[in-house]
Structure 1
Amino acid sequence: MDTSERQTIGFLGLGPMGMPMAQALADGGFRVVAWNRTASKVGQLQERAPSVTAAHTPREVARGARTVVAMLPDLPQLEALLDGPDGLLVGWEGDGGRGGDGGSGGGEATGSQEPPLLVVTSTVSPVRVAELGSELRSRGVRLVDAPVSGGPGGAESRGLSVMVGGDPDDVERLAPVLAAMGSTVRHLGPLGAGSLTKACNQAVVGATLVALGEAVRLAQAGGLDVATVLEVLGGGLAGSAVLRQKGERYLTGDFSGGGNCRNQLKDHSIILEAGRRYGVRQPVSEVTRDLYAEVVERGGGDLDHTGVITVL
């Protein structure tokens, strides 16, 4: 039996991204043990992928799997699940090194020789994730940062771009897992490199959304047909994946769902933190951050990030 068909993977966080990512793993032949703070989300995942096993605590996830993927809003939410009687660490420490299915049989053949591996797939600080990796290594746990880009649509189609940072051996161990969720998987360097690359990605996405918002407002103010303008932009150098995926929102004015403005603001705080660390001027990212802060202050934090147009 192929490794991808027998390996058990834990999954934490079944939001708009985590739900299809966890399903992709189940559809790819992995045994998935899933936990979500709102337990009904696990039931929804089981409707989509009946083979998924529900866990009531992060500890149960760790008892069932030596490799755990986390898709949570930020590192503080993950760190809150590490310690305590129901935390991941006590689950791994109490595992006795069995791995796989927590001793129920049929786990990874090499689980007893492999340390627990935690994978962060959300957008987080490259500085802080490297610090967390050092802390966890002292407790026998390996950490890989593998943030993804492509949005819920990319997660549904298994077409995510995965930016990976970590020890080469850990990344090699994860290769089949990441390949099940994404079509482009690249190892960028040591722990934190994936998150720094994601910061670069979000800098471009955020600035592009602001520029598109300005263009749409300018077209509207000048009496142009916005649909035609966007078609022309898409056919030239101004065309982008952002425009292709998000253009319809400017025509309908529907900014519900999708990647939200609150997360875009968080991402730009990370971008600017990285810029300060490396001494890079970021005037565009500073303006972009301020505009998203204004959206959030006005109560639009849950709007899709195209909703930045509402303050232009």
Structure 2
Amino acid sequence: MSGTETGHVGAVDTVGFLGLGAMGLPMAVNLARAGFDVLAWNRGRPPLEAAAAAGCRTAAGPEQVAAAAPVVLTMLPDLPQVIELLDGQGGLRSGRPVMDTLVVMGTVSPVAVHALAERLLPQGITVVDAPVSGGVTGAREAGLSIMAGGPVEAVARVRPYLEAMGSTVRRMGDTGAGSLAKACNQLVVAGTLVALAEAVLLGERGGLDPTALLDVLAGGLASSEVLTQKRRHLAEGDFTPSGPARYLHKDLGFVLDSADDEGVTLPLSTTVAGLYAAIEAQGLGDLDNSVVLGLLRDGSPHSPDRPTKD
């Protein structure tokens, strides 16, 4: 497949992909490697060039993608960015789109993506929310866990694309259910990260070597994928980002919003969300989400807007 820039392409098997970030780029590449005709777009030029070199075709803008691809996948930070590319000048709904299915793969609000689906359905566009878990490693290795929400037929239609990027693909319910499952996932990830950070802090204050402690934890019941991927960050105190803390802060907001919507009290989520709010408030949001260890070491565990009781 050519990596040249194109406009209208008539191939019915063309799939669009918008958002070639740290996870989106390897996801699009895996689609191309699986034999799909991937038409990709990204605001920045270097990721587009990397996608072209790996077998994707590239488009001049979202309008060209929607004019060629009945199914368009987005891997963007949040729903406002998706809506901007939908409704903005030169966006997905400009011109003469053939797009009839939009797959939102970023982590977004379950309530908001359901509302978007209701708005677009009368216009002939079905929305599937299909957030992913597994980090950059999972994206590169096509080993993501993908939680899909949408009509049965729509999820079945896009399943071949999802299976090219993930090792676990599960329909969770109607549109919004995938994002609710991802909120649950982020709750567990954030809670585990905070538990690991507290374990390292407690251990080192008692004279334990963090590396040795994490090795022991990894060999027992406390082992987890979070520990596997974050062991080096926590052991070395190196918070160079692989997953920025600000994204987890955003995601925990969705957890609390969903809890409010369902009338559920989540004490752990409230505490963990407060920690990540404090990270953001201190300007540490661009560091790795394991920077919660640094926050605890500095003795600043509480968010300014979630004070502890006297």
Q: TM-score, normalised by structure 1?
A: 0.89
User: Which of residues 153, 165, 169 in structure 2 aligns to 1:169?
Assistant: 153
Is 1:202 matched with 2:186?
Answer: yes
Paired residues of 1:259 and 1:304 also in contact (CA < 8 A): yes
Q: Which residue of 1 aligns with 2:104?
A: 120
SS in 1 for 2:93: helix
Q: Which residue of 1 aligns with 2:118?
A: 134
2:17 maps to a residue whose letter is F
Q: Where does the alignment leave 5 or more consecutive residues of structure 2 unmatched?
A: 1-10, 297-310
Q: Which residue of 2 aligns with 1:69?
A: 73
How far 1:80 sits from its partner (Å)? 0.5
Q: Which residue of 2 aligns with 1:266?
A: 250
1:17 maps to a residue whose letter is M
Give every structure 1 segment of 4 or more consecutive aligned residues whose post-TM-superposition deviation is greater than 3 Å.
none
User: Which of residues 6, 29, 34 in structure 2 aligns to 1:28?
Assistant: 34
How far 1:290 sits from its partner (Å)? 1.0
User: Which of residues 272, 282, 297 in structure 1 aligns to 2:281?
Assistant: 297
Equivalent residue runs for 1:175-254 within 5 Å:
175-254=159-238
SS in 2 for 1:187: strand
How far 1:249 sits from its partner (Å)? 1.1
Distance in 1 separating the partners of 2:32 and 2:197: 38
* Alpha-carbon displacement from aligned partner over 1:167-188 (angstroms, at most 9, x marks no partner): 0000110111000000000011
Q: Which residue of 1 aligns with 2:20?
A: 14
Paired residues of 2:41 and 2:61 also in contact (CA < 8 A): yes
Q: TM-score, normalised by structure 2?
A: 0.90
Distance in 2 separating the partners of 1:300 and 1:44: 29
Paired residues of 1:23 and 1:45 also in contact (CA < 8 A): yes
2:250 maps to a residue whose letter is K
How far 1:214 sits from its partner (Å)? 0.6
Say what the alpha-carbon RMSD is for the aligned residues. 1.3
Is 1:147 matched with 2:151?
Answer: no
Q: Which residue of 2 aligns with 1:257?
A: 241
Percent identity among equivalent residues?
49
Q: Which residue of 1 aligns with 2:307?
A: none
Q: Which residue of 2 aligns with 1:280?
A: 264
Paired residues of 2:237 and 2:294 also in contact (CA < 8 A): no
2:168 maps to a residue whose letter is T
1:55 maps to a residue whose letter is A
Paired residues of 2:130 and 2:178 also in contact (CA < 8 A): yes
How far 1:6 sits from its partner (Å)? 7.2
Distance in 1 separating the partners of 2:137 and 2:239: 16
* Alpha-carbon displacement from aligned partner over 1:4-61 (angstroms, at most 9, x marks no partner): x9721100001111010000101010111111111222012222x1x31111111011
Q: Which residue of 1 aligns with 2:58?
A: 54
Number of residues of Structure 1 aligned to a counterpart in Structure 2:
286
Distance in 2 separating the partners of 1:66 and 1:184: 24
Q: Which residue of 2 aligns with 1:105?
A: none
Q: Which residue of 1 aligns with 2:83?
A: 79
